[in-house]
Chain A
Amino acid sequence: MLCPQLASAAEEPCDAPSPDCAVVGQWEISASFGLGQRSNPVAGESDIPLVVVPQISYYGKRFFLVNLELGYTLFEGEKNTFNVIATPGYDRVFFHRGDLQNIFVPTSGGGAFSGRPDPMPGNGDDLDSENVRNFEVGRRRTTFLVGPEWTFGYGRITGQLNAVREVTGRHNGMEVRGALASPLLVGRFGSLVASGGITWKSAEVVRYYYGVDNLYVPDSSLSPFVKLRYSREISDRWGFNLFAHYEKLSSSISDSPIVSEDHVTTVFAGVVFRVH
């Protein structure tokens, strides 16, 4: 059921600091405290707990920093915005618990598998239990991808499309991410926003994270996701957040011998405290 004030809320002018509008030149620091977890589809790896989720952002006149993503706005209009962004490769979070993205939690990844550096048994269909082969799962390095991003508004719907290429010399792969978001409810009782989209990863990306030498050479992947988020402002400094995110992994990822699940689920509920 759509709320009558939905359209106006989605197109609210940016004339005062708010959750949608940033003051240029001012850092925003907040942290969500609560309970949640992200499932880890990599075989043998435990799920990733979410207890404290910090958020840092800075918006200059054109430059912006949002957690681990950097960007430069080329054009900003009423309906369309074009940025160039630099964003970390997300799949590493499933291999390295200490990855910063397990602290500044995004969900634009889609990968899943175990990044343990130790030899681990494969579980491919071509192997039987009496003839277990060991294979090395190499270390996945931190990568950054750079490319254009288009954000548009159409009525109450916000859309985003970006195409980024890895520039840190690890796999030279590409990712294309597309998503739509729309508020379902907006009012004094908070807002409920639904999102959905896809992440396409080139074969180079999928092989870097999910491939196994001489055993599994995956092709590109296309993974859809849906997300539901409820938030409510309690005061200028405090708010409440609840979200659930589900990503269905492409078969080229889930078929990997180092992947044991075909999806990634992230849930979290907690309060947000805005430090600044």
Chain B
Amino acid sequence: MRRKARYLIVAALLPVMASAGAQPSANSAAITLNLTPRICTLSAEDENCDTVVTAKWRAPKDESLCLLIVGQPQVRQCWENHSEGVYTVRLLFNQDLLVELRDLELQEVLTSETIAVIKEALRLRRKRRQPWDILS
């Protein structure tokens, strides 16, 4: 009985924990944010994604908000009393890019999306050894 109660408490906390991780506010659930590209694939020779990122957001009613990108402090685009917006910027990044829409005070995350960076795994093999080759 006691063990079951503990499970119930954990189950009740899960939605709260999940929302705390993502941090979008409850009253902004209807704001949609779409990013292109969704994924950046780095080849074995690439060190960074060098690409143009486009963020489009839409809300059912006018909102005042700012678009921020984690790790890219130079990016900040704000709108006042708009129901939609588009922002395009060329970026250089090598880790997942987290794009957030926040309120004008930048305190509350209204919604967020991520551009995932996938690194192509290097497959390596030992070179053929030739004791008689002059350069090996």
Contacts and interface: CB of A to CB of B under 8 A. Distances in A.
Interface in B100-136: 122-135
B126 to A, nearest CB: 5
A59 B125 contact: yes
Interface stretch (A10-18, A123-131, A139-147): A10-18
A180 B132 CA distance: 9
Nearest to A55: B135
Contacts of A83: 128
Nearest to B133: A106
How many of chain B's residues touch chain A, expressed as a range?
Answer: 10 to 19
Interface string A170-206: 0000000101110000000000000111010000000
A20 interface: yes
Interface residues of A, number: 49
Interface in B34-93: 44
B124 A229 contact: no
B44 A23 contact: yes
**Of B127, B129, B132, B135, which is in contact with the most chain A CB atoms at under 10 Å from its CB?**
B132
A227 B126 CA distance: 22
B45 to A, nearest CB: 8
Nearest to B127: A22
A76 B130 contact: no
Contact of B128 (A14, A66, A227, A243): A66
Contact of B134 (A20, A21, A229): A229
B86 to A, nearest CB: 39
B127 to A, nearest CB: 5
Contacts of A177: 132
Nearest to A241: B135
A160 to B, nearest CB: 6
B130 A108 contact: yes
B136 to A, nearest CB: 8
Interface string A227-243: 10100000000000101
A21 B132 contact: no
A42 interface: no
A71 B128 contact: yes
A32 B125 contact: no
A160 B130 contact: yes
A23 B134 contact: no
Contacts of A199: 132
Given A23-B44, A24-B123, A243 B131 contact: no
Nearest to B132: A108
Nearest to B135: A55
Nearest to B45: A26
Contacts of B128: 64, 66, 71, 81, 83, 151
Interface string A53-68: 1010101010010100
Contacts of B132: 106-108, 160, 177, 179, 195, 197, 199, 225, 227
Interface of B: 44, 122-135
The 8 closest A-B pairs by CB, nearest first: A179-B131, A181-B131, A24-B123, A195-B131, A108-B132, A107-B134, A14-B126, A21-B124
